[in-house]
Amino acid sequence: MQPCVDLGIELHVIVGNHDIPYRNTNHINAMNELFDKQNIHIYADPKDIQFDGVDITMMPWIQNTNYKECMEHISHTKSQILFGHLELNGFVMHLGQTAHEGMDTKPFEKFDMVCSGHFHHKSSRDNIHYLGNPYELTWSCYNDQRGFHIFDSDKRDLTFIQNPYRMFHKIWYDDLDKTMEQVMQGIDYESYHDTYVKVIVQNKTNPYWFDMMLDNLYKANPANVSIVDDNKHMDAQSEEEIFNEAEDTLTSLYKFVDGMNTEVDKKKLNQLFANLYNEAQNLEV
């Protein structure tokens, strides 16, 4: 926070679910406990504020004890813009993982624009915009654009500023029917400094070349290197196909659950499968 203080930046912070240690209150939160308030406005309750003549509703994390207050505020506010930390049903949380629980979007249809945190994937549908993370956090962020947004109070639109820095990388190693030069070319080792790298081995016919590549990689001082012998995706032509397959895997799981003869809540079961799949994607092999 100190650079913001030094630069005279006034911060407006909406309390989210990871700011609170208890499920039944927003008022005990990390922002209040850890930071000086001299340049920070913290919104643990819904509130209407104004920027450049534009009324904006600041909507914190909605839980059982503040649900009624938040819904009444949404119903009565004259603001046309809402910034919040919302869990809405039907939006993508991570690539290949859609939320099957959460609030219905209908109460938010009254706003011209709704901008929300919470889900890590950037997406938009109708008037609702999930802004996504400003930077990568886990392997589920791999190959998914990150950045921040600028809200223009005159035009009432968003401009996305993409983060050029990436924390997670994959190197696809395949030396089948190739020369050493072909295997080594195109690898920017310096870009892997202080990052997490998965080396996915599709074909390794020359162990010496593979060791040379690893030596060059380690010289760049990555934060972590994992080596994966990839047999499952041997016939895949591109990273896009692999991500499509990841989506198909979850779709298959959801169809399996939908076809089950069980009294268990299928929405909760789908959520459990999605969480387990996401954890498996993040495991270091």
Q: Do 79 and 200 fall within a single domain?
A: no
Q: Do 142 and 182 fall within a single domain?
A: no
Q: Do 95 and 144 fall within a single domain?
A: yes
pLDDT digits (tens, 9 = 90+) for 94-130: 887 888 889 999 999 999 999 999 999 999 999 999 9
Q: Do 97 and 185 fall within a single domain?
A: no
Please report the pLDDT score of residue 282 as a whole number: 62
Q: Is the pLDDT score of 245 beyond 50? A: no
Q: Do 139 and 172 fall within a single domain?
A: no
Q: Do 65 and 90 fall within a single domain?
A: yes
Last residue of a domain, one of 107, 128, 162: 162
Amino acid identity, residue 25? Answer: T
Q: Do 243 and 215 fall within a single domain?
A: no
Please report the pLDDT score of residue 107 as a whole number: 96
Give the count of domains, the chain: 3
Q: Do 263 and 189 fall within a single domain?
A: no
Q: How far is residue 74's CA from residue 110's CA, in Å, rounded to a whole number? A: 9
pLDDT digits (tens, 9 = 90+) for 23-76: 899 999 999 998 877 788 999 999 999 999 999 999 999 999 999 999 999 999
Q: Do 120 and 21 fall within a single domain?
A: yes
pLDDT band at 246 (very low <50, low <70, confident <90, very high): very low
Range of the domain at 253: 237-285
Q: Do 64 and 201 fall within a single domain?
A: no
Q: How far is residue 279's CA from residue 285's CA, in Å, rounded to a whole number? A: 12
pLDDT digits (tens, 9 = 90+) for 169-220: 999 999 999 999 998 888 999 999 999 999 999 999 999 999 999 999 999 9
Closest CA to 81 of 18, 152, 184, 16: 152
pLDDT band at 231 (very low <50, low <70, confident <90, very high): low
Q: Is the pLDDT score of 7 beyond 80? A: yes
